Structure 1
């Protein structure tokens, strides 16, 4: 009944769509009730507004899926798993995040750490959207700049983030 590309788009935006529905319900509650229920409604409207903003950023970060390899994040370690190879990097030891342009295939993230070879992860790897939560927690990262660079598809490597603490040593 629904075209496959429309179904994929709805699935990609499902978190935002659900949150907007909940926001509408809470706004109705805030405007229809009095007293404590109205205050609870307004508080939920504010919380959901922030959540919707974050969800839209997550969707903008996602380059789709179905790419080569699988990304897992567990106990402060980013793992990129391949049938024959892959790699790991500790989030705390990361020195930079670089967006590498797509010469053939998808663009890649290059995650660097001292005394370790760079970890390259395609933007469309399965589970790569989990990297958004890691990246937004890096000290000093400019999230909007990162999202603009992903959309612009640069033709040269772009440094998205560099660890200032490690750069001082």
Structure 2
């Protein structure tokens, strides 16, 4: 039996990292300015910095979190993305990814991951476990987590390319 309504629980789960960062930030404020000077004051300054970083990262992650309940299941294990959907699916190594885009024309919107040696993998943004994709995509060199979160809020009909592997861009430039 839970004393928290499901809607409130969903909000807490969506913003959990930001809430933890805010709690650490408040603890750091108390230790820095509310306690007599000493060693705890310096630990408070460290907690302030750590809390601010956690809150900032949690805000980005919370903005990108779409919740579950969509078609299929996503797993990210050791830099390998797996999607198991009702009609399609597949596995992609992050090192083999050539480009990442968001297709807002599909319902629900889909991440489109192109990779070497296979067809593109289409993953709904609200698939069960799709929250793990945020951290996986953030490990791609040069891809900003803030840009991912902002792109999820954009409306449109054309696919938005978020990231393309550097050597792939050079090859495309040579073709033109």
- After TM superposition, the score normalised by the length of structure 2 is 0.86
Please give the residue correspondences for 1:97-116 in structure 2 after superposition, counting only pairs within 5 Å. 97-103=100-106, 105-116=107-118
Gapped regions of structure 2 (runs ≥ 5): 172-176
Give the alignment partner of residue 146 of structure 2, picking from 141, 144, 156: 144
Aligned length: 168
How many angstroms apart in 1 are the aligned matches of 2:161 and 2:86?
Answer: 29
How many angstroms apart in 1 are the aligned matches of 2:72 and 2:153?
Answer: 22
Gapped regions of structure 1 (runs ≥ 5): none
The corresponding residue for 2:125 is 123
| Runs of 4+ deviating beyond 6 Å | none
The corresponding residue for 1:62 is 65
How many angstroms apart in 2 are the aligned matches of 1:143 and 1:12?
Answer: 16
Q: Is the Cα contact below 8 Å between 2:105 and 2:159 reproduced in 1?
A: no
How many angstroms apart in 2 are the aligned matches of 1:50 and 1:158?
Answer: 28
- After TM superposition, the score normalised by the length of structure 1 is 0.90
Q: Is the Cα contact below 8 Å between 2:103 and 2:160 reproduced in 1?
A: yes
- Root mean square deviation, CA, Å: 1.8
